[in-house]
């Protein structure tokens, strides 16, 4: 497998783990408990920053190259690239809801939960479309030279949570994931 695809596959496994944790926190919220809002905000910050700076731009390079080469499934790639922009908006809306709670604004729990569930559902569907349709097409259509060019153009920043840790930014998230790993 090409290094860029290996990295994206690893990102997707990590994202699935984060989405499971998010869903668990939202389930507690639904039951009336107060989840760890700091943890949820850190998760959103991590997903936004890493996805917007590294993950999605890398995927867009791949998708654009496939579209240049031509594919009968253009619709898949167009949808995914549009979703990359929309995911940021969904994430920001959910984060604003969480910030509102932290600043003691009056918000309906149902609305906050709905924003979170929409983000999780959209991310899962997006990841599934990439894994099941877009990536296999890209692996079939692109040449060694294409992959080398994508690798050279792709952002090359280390993951601040799963790579070289930035413990000041993601302290609560790292602690939670570490505790889960030990259990």
**pLDDT computed for residue 182 by the predictor:** 63
Residue whose structure tokens are 């080398």: 148
Portion of the chain with pLDDT greater than 90, in percent: 54
The closest alpha carbon to 116, from 84, 79, 91, 141, belongs to: 91
As a whole number of angstroms, the distance between CA 67 and CA 58 comes to: 15
CB 142 within 8 A of CB 66: yes
In order of their start, the domains of the chain are 3-182 (1.20.120.520)
First to last CA, the chain: 32
As a whole number of angstroms, the distance between CA 146 and CA 61 comes to: 10
**pLDDT computed for residue 166 by the predictor:** 66
For the segment 161-175, what is each residue's pLDDT rounded down to a tens digit? Answer: 887 766 677 777 777
As a whole number of angstroms, the distance between CA 90 and CA 99 comes to: 14
Please, what is the average pLDDT of the chain? Answer: 89
As a whole number of angstroms, the distance between CA 99 and CA 13 comes to: 28
Portion of the chain with pLDDT greater than 70, in percent: 96
Mean pLDDT of 51-74: 95
pTM of the model: 0.89
Q: In residues, how long is the chain?
A: 183
CB atoms under 10 Å from CB of 58, counted, come to 21
CA 172 to mean position of chain CA atoms: 18
């Amino acid at each position: 497998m090409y290094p860029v695809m290996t990295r994206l596959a690893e990102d997707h496994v990590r994202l699935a783990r984060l989405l499971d944790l998010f869903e668990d926190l939202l389930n507690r919220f639904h039951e009336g408990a107060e989840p760890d809002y700091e943890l949820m905000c850190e998760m959103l910050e991590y997903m936004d920053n890493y996805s917007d700076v590294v993950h999605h731009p890398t995927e867009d390079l791949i998708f654009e190259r496939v579209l240049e080469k031509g594919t009968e499934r253009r619709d898949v790639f167009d949808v995914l690239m549009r979703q990359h922009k929309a995911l940021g908006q969904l994430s920001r809306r959910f984060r604003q809801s969480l910030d509102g709670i932290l600043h003691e604004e009056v918000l309906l729990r149902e609305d906050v939960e709905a924003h979170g569930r929409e983000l999780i559902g959209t991310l899962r569907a997006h990841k599934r479309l990439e894994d099941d349709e877009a990536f296999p097409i890209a692996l079939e259509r692109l040449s060694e030279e294409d992959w080398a060019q994508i690798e050279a153009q792709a952002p090359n920043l280390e993951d601040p949570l799963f790579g070289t840790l930035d413990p000041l930014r993601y302290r609560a998230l790292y602690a939670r994931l570490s505790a889960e790993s030990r259990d």
